[in-house]
Amino acid sequence: MNNVKKVCVFASSSNFLKPEYYEDAKRLGELLGQNGYDIVYGGSTLGLMWACAEQVKNNGGKIYGVMPQRLIEMGCRTDNCDEFYSTDGMRERKEKMDKISDAVIALAGGFGTLEELSEMIVQKQLGYNKKPIVILNTDGFYDNLLRFFDTIISENFANKISANLFYIAQTPEDAVEYIKNYEEPQTVPSKHEIYSR
């Protein structure tokens, strides 16, 4: 049994996506709530973020929202969060989300999601966290990015064990099962592990 209680979900804030993306986001939220997990997310009622968070709440989980002041001033904040945190900017937002969460799932998303996911992978690569990191590959959304990750590794920009830093889930069920069964690494990576082939 691991200690995962709060799952940070990175996801699109767009309301103009294909139905499949919202369906997976809602199903993930449903499963998280039913399995006793809370959600840490961006704090709005927009896009896949809210589709997931709302279902967590509807299924017994709590919502922790984190939003930079600029987006609050734009009127993006929701009052549906059990706890809400405002931050000075995006860097502080990521830091807060990282600090209060025990696991990460990246749904389909844009540049913000990509930035958040990349930072969490690097944090784990360097031993700053040992959290499960899941990429939910709805409808093959991340196929091209994952091929690029393969290129990064095959061209020695990162070593082969970097592929073990994250898990690729094809369904929400797969994502939640991975988190439920995740075993945290017992040691932090060594210099040799990080910088060798």
Tens digits of per-residue pLDDT, 115-158?
A: 999 999 999 999 999 999 999 999 999 999 999 999 999 999 99
Q: Would 115 be classed as within a structural domain?
A: yes
Q: Would 94 be classed as within a structural domain?
A: yes
Q: What is the pLDDT of residue 181?
A: 96
CATH number of the domain that residue 23 is part of: 3.40.50.450
Q: Would 107 be classed as within a structural domain?
A: yes
Query: Taking Cα atoms as reference points, which of 6, 197, 17 lies closest to residue 107?
Result: 17
Q: Would 146 be classed as within a structural domain?
A: no
Tens digits of per-residue pLDDT, 88-111?
A: 999 999 999 999 999 999 999 999
Q: Would 130 be classed as within a structural domain?
A: yes
Q: Is 108 left (phi over 0), alpha (psi -120 to 50) or beta?
A: beta
Q: Would 27 be classed as within a structural domain?
A: yes
Q: What is the pLDDT of residue 45?
A: 95
Q: What is the pLDDT of residue 185?
A: 85
When the pLDDT of each residue in the chain is averaged and rounded to a whole number, the result is 94
Q: Which residue has the higher pLDDT, 181 or 3?
A: 181
> If you average pLDDT over residues 155-169, what whole number do you get?
94
Count CA atoms within 13 Å of residue 21 on its CB side: 20
Q: Which domain does 84 fall in, by range?
A: 6-141+167-186
For residue 51, pLDDT over 80 is answered with yes
pTM here is 0.94
> If you average pLDDT over residues 177-194, what whole number do you get?
86
For residue 177, pLDDT over 90 is answered with yes
Pairing of strands 63-68, 83-87: parallel
Q: Would 154 be classed as within a structural domain?
A: no
Q: What is the pLDDT of residue 187?
A: 79
